[in-house]
Amino acid sequence: MLHFMLTHARFVLFVYCLHLFAYLLFMQGLFPSTNKIQTIANQSCWGIMCLVDDSSTPPPLFERLILVVIDALREDYVFNSSISHLKYVHHLLKQKQHAIGFKIKTQTPTVTLPRLKALISGTIPGFWDILYNYNSTAIDTDNFLLQYRRKYPEKKIVFYGDDTWLKLFPNMFDRQEGTTSFFVSDFREVDENVTRHLEFEFENNRNDWSILILHYLGLDHIGHFAGSKNSYIDEKLIEMDHTLSYIYQKLKETDLLLLTGDHGMADQGGHGGASYEESHVPAVFISPQFDRYEKLLLQDESKIWLQIDLTPTLCSLFHLPVPSNNLGILIKPLIDIFFNQNMKTCLINDNQRQLSLIINKYSDDVQQDNIQALSAYDLLKKIRDKAIQTSSQQTIQQLLLGMALFWCSTIALIIIHFIEIKDFSILIHSLSIYIGSCLFIFYLLLLSDKSISSIVIHSSSFIGLYLCFEFIRNSIIVIKTLRINNRQMKNTNKTHSKLRMLSSYWLFYYPSLHLLSLLSSSFIEEEHQLWYLFIQTFLILALRDICVQLSSNKRNIILMLITITFIFRLLRSWNQTGNKWLTQPDIGDYLNRFVFIQIFNSL
């Protein structure tokens, strides 16, 4: 007997471990790690300029870069004249003499750390980077700042603003001062600590730096605190406009000012999702020397570019090699303005070469597409799309295998339960659905393998349909059996009381339901609603189970469950979350009103 109990306990422990392993495998397939090239790029058009032009290599178009990142700067805060309070910037854009603007799309997740990585290295970080957003680690791959430091070691790089930069690029800056993003209620001082350094950097014709990076956090803090449309936002944009006006007045002829945002801001004030407001930001290039170029007046500013496209574009303007992991392409309107035809051809070809190294074996297909492409730049966009697709691709095999193990381990727990209560009728049907599920998911795994999927589809389609039918049939049998059993439970004695515990069934079946919900992006965005449903349903079923077995000593438990259910509902309405109901008033909003604050202060 003791040996049987030990064996049973070990088997249950094994099933639980399998359950956890399936979950981790599924997460690894859903959020894969990004493949990286560890080498540093050292090839560019500037090293082979003599091959495309008889003259010597010209100096870079710009000698200094001022990069201004305004956290959570939405695209409409700049380009929508009806709501924009960046009046000076909008005036420069309207003149089309000293500024050119582009709409930039960022990839999800729209939080600071992965967006800064995309901006500087041209890569697309994955969702795992959310976990490191508040524990930023140094970038260990090729990037724009590293390339600049390698080519111009004597020049200085200066930074003021969000201290995430200092964690990503340690020992990169010659002068620096970071500001923390944790004090969300700080709207003014967090930006004044950045602006106060401008006079030191621009007055007295200071020429000891070549790159100045400013990252302002105040706008993002206001969004989290009060939403995207309020008087605080207007005041902050006016403040930023004055700052940008001051910087522009101090620019030299060979200076380039780039204004952009790391991510946007949802109407509710948060960010992290994929809505248009969260994922679209402006990129405004400003320089006094732009008035030399008549092509500036002909540029189409309605086209949307990717945030990763800023990396190779900046590298071309400052004569740097494109970082080896870059997934972006050159922003063609800027290239058309500043470079002649020979140099444009060289830059596009170099960008193609760099992207082709990422996609490896795709090179043969690229050569075939080159014949059909309308232009070299069209080919470049095709290569970019393929590189993005292959750089961080979800693993279908891992997803399916994780779902299979998760489902099978759940069924195994149910089978163990029925073995304990010696209900062999349900046990037989459970084994039937268990075997059918394994066969069906094995068939899906075969289909996910590209090397044999065509063979499986053509020769085993009938088997696949049969397995689907068996899966559905066995599911119906189990459901019917459970319903019959529920009717019989009323006539059974207390030795079968375990069958009456509907809350146990809910605990068994909910993980599978939750797993299926991950197939819908809407359910993912509002996942907390599913957890609300799980907890409330479990409490109600637990209350029902206790009522079935009601005795005098259970009344206190019933009262406790009712109280917990009421408190849970109260907490749910205390502060609305998610995207759909975030704008609805909640209890926390009422308590923050002036009247209640006065009452609380008087107490």
Task: List, for residues 8-24, the tens digit of each pLDDT value.
Answer: 677 777 777 877 887 77
Rounded to an integer, the average pLDDT of 20-40 is 74
Task: Tell me: pLDDT of 372 over 80.
Answer: no
Of 218, 215, 217, give the one whose Cα is nearest residue 235.
218
Q: Which of 104-113, 278-287, 518-527 has the lowest mean pLDDT?
A: 518-527
pLDDT-derived band at 533 (thresholds 50, 70, 90) equals confident
Q: Distance of CA 595 to CAs 225, 226, 230, 384, 603, Å? A: 19, 18, 21, 57, 13
141: its two tokens: 């791959």
- 3-class DSSP state for residue 306? strand
For residues 302 and 104, give the distance between their C-alpha atoms in angstroms, rounded to a whole number: 10
- CB of 320 within 8 A of CB of 149? no
pLDDT score at 494:
47
Q: Per residue in 550-588, pLDDT tens?
A: 655 666 777 777 888 888 888 777 776 666 666 667 777
Q: Distance of CA 110 to CAs 127, 133, 163, 278, 523, Å? A: 10, 11, 18, 7, 18
pLDDT score at 409:
74
pLDDT score at 243:
96
294: its two tokens: 């008549």
Q: Per residue in 277-304, pLDDT tens?
A: 999 999 999 999 888 776 665 556 668 9
Q: Which of 171-175, 271-275, 497-501 has the highest mean pLDDT?
A: 171-175
pLDDT score at 229:
84
pLDDT-derived band at 119 (thresholds 50, 70, 90) equals very high
- CB of 37 within 8 A of CB of 324? yes
E strands, 193-246, are: 209-216
- CB of 360 within 8 A of CB of 386? no
Rounded to an integer, the average pLDDT of 97-126 is 89
> Strand pairing partners for 214?
68, 160
Q: Give me the sign of the Cα torsion angle 141, 144, 149, 151.
A: positive
Task: Tell me: pLDDT of 424 over 90.
Answer: no
For residues 102 and 79, give the distance between their C-alpha atoms in angstroms, rounded to a whole number: 9
Task: Tell me: pLDDT of 315 over 90.
Answer: yes
Q: 540-549 as b/e, with b when 16 or more CB fall inside 10 Å?
A: ebbbeebeee
Which residue did the predictor score with more confidence, 233 or 18? 233
93: its two tokens: 């854009």
Q: Distance of CA 280 to CAs 92, 111, 276, 329, Å? A: 21, 13, 6, 18
pLDDT score at 44:
82
pLDDT score at 456:
46
426: its two tokens: 């349900």
- CB of 34 within 8 A of CB of 125? yes
Task: Tell me: pLDDT of 355 over 80.
Answer: yes
For residues 593 and 582, give the distance between their C-alpha atoms in angstroms, rounded to a whole number: 17
pLDDT score at 452:
47
pLDDT score at 175:
94
pLDDT-derived band at 443 (thresholds 50, 70, 90) equals low
Q: Per residue in 468-491, pLDDT tens?
A: 655 565 565 555 555 555 555 555
Which residue did the predictor score with more confidence, 235 or 367? 235
pLDDT score at 49:
45
- 3-class DSSP state for residue 438? helix
pLDDT score at 373:
45
- CB of 397 within 8 A of CB of 445? yes
pLDDT score at 480:
56
Rounded to an integer, the average pLDDT of 435-458 is 56
Rounded to an integer, the average pLDDT of 119-141 is 72
pLDDT-derived band at 59 (thresholds 50, 70, 90) equals confident
Residue with the two structure tokens 């008035």: 291
pLDDT score at 371:
44
Supply angle C-alpha 601, 221, 174, rounded to 5.
130
214: its two tokens: 């400013």
Residue with the two structure tokens 């439970």: 489
Q: How many CB atoms lie within 10 A of CB 376?
A: 14
| CA–centroid distance for 93 within its chain | 30
pLDDT score at 603:
65
Percent of the chain predicted with pLDDT > 90: 28
Q: Which of 152-156, 181-185, 491-495 has the lowest mean pLDDT?
A: 491-495
Are β-strands 99-105 and 280-286 bridged in parallel, bridged antiparallel, or unpaired?
antiparallel
Q: Per residue in 160-187, pLDDT tens?
A: 999 999 999 999 999 999 998 777 677 8
pLDDT-derived band at 417 (thresholds 50, 70, 90) equals low
Task: Tell me: pLDDT of 466 over 70.
Answer: no
- 3-class DSSP state for residue 286? strand
Q: 154-177 as b/e, with b when 16 or more CB fall inside 10 Å?
A: eeebbbbbbbbbbbbbeebbeebe
Task: Tell me: pLDDT of 27 over 80.
Answer: no
Task: Tell me: pLDDT of 5 over 80.
Answer: no
When the pLDDT of each residue in the chain is averaged and rounded to a whole number, the result is 77
Are β-strands 99-105 and 175-179 bridged in parallel, bridged antiparallel, or unpaired?
unpaired
